[in-house]
Structure 1
Amino acid sequence: MEHISSVLTFVPLEGGAPWGFTLQGGLEHREPLIISKVEEGGKSDSLEQPLLAGDEIIIINDVELTGYRQEAIALVKGSYKTLQLTIRRYRFLY
């Protein structure tokens, strides 16, 4: 039998854009706001616990998201030297 669990993870990024990930989805598409791509060798890929495609973004720079992609993009673009993400990562348990 398969179960799904999720864990919230804090991801601090340093050094300024580009951050090395792409977002997709959002409430305007009736989908969760997820990371669709992580640039190999980029800032998001070089962390101790790198971002993964499929991670759902919940909080950006202490702002709890409403779920709209444009809001998330504005917060990411407004980040100068640091970007702090809280993501929900789903795991499958067998």
Structure 2
Amino acid sequence: AFSVELYVEVFLQGGAPWGFTLKGGLEHGAPLVISKVEEGGKAALLKNRLQVGDEVVSINEVELCGSRQEAISLVKGSYKTLKLIVLRYSNMSYSSYHEKEHSV
């Protein structure tokens, strides 16, 4: 009961490289998530930046079926702007709970 789900809209401008890496996807039997955000890259410089672990829900208004291949082709097809909607699980209360659990 610790995680909170947030939908976050991320709007990137200026063209590739966008500065993030995807992992998972239907092909791998896992959710499609952001596995890396390049420091200093476009995705890191936003006020509302992407975070590792964000699950990609839609790209440029196209709702994804969870396939990494589909996501990559949509990203590659983005010319000047890229709009992502990601699902973020916020575990803030969980981490503080975790620390208490380990104090001896």
Which TM bucket (shorter chain)? Answer: over 0.9
Q: How many residues align?
A: 93
Where does 1:8-19 land on structure 2 (aligned, <5 Å)?
8-19=7-18
CA distance, structure 1, for counterparts of residue 67 and residue 60 of structure 2: 15
Structure 1 segments unaligned to the other structure (5+ residues): none
TM-score (norm 1): 0.95
Report the residue type matching 1:59 in the other structure.
S
CA distance, structure 2, for counterparts of residue 6 and residue 28 of structure 1: 24
TM-score (norm 2): 0.86
Which fold has the larger relative contact order, with Cα–Cα distance below 8 Å and residues 6 or more apart in sequence?
A: 1
Corresponding position of 2:2: 3
Q: CA deviation at 1:40?
A: 0.2
Where does 1:1-94 land on structure 2 (aligned, <5 Å)?
3-92=2-91, 93-94=93-94
Q: CA deviation at 1:60?
A: 0.1
CA distance, structure 2, for counterparts of residue 10 and residue 50 of structure 1: 9
Provide the identity percentage.
60
**Larger % of strand: which?**
1
Q: CA deviation at 1:76?
A: 0.2
Q: CA deviation at 1:56?
A: 0.5
Max Rg structure: 2
Report the residue type matching 1:26 in the other structure.
G
For residues 70-94 of structure 1, what are the alpha-carbon distances to aligned partners after superposition, in whole Å with 9 as ceiling and x for unaligned? 0000000000000000000101234
- Runs of 4 or more, structure 1, over 2 Å off, are none
Structure 2 segments unaligned to the other structure (5+ residues): 95-104
For residues 43-92 of structure 1, what are the alpha-carbon distances to aligned partners after superposition, in whole Å with 9 as ceiling and x for unaligned? 00000011111011000000000000000000000000000000001012
Q: Aligned to 2:44, what secondary structure does the other structure show? A: coil
Give the superposed CA RMSD: 0.9
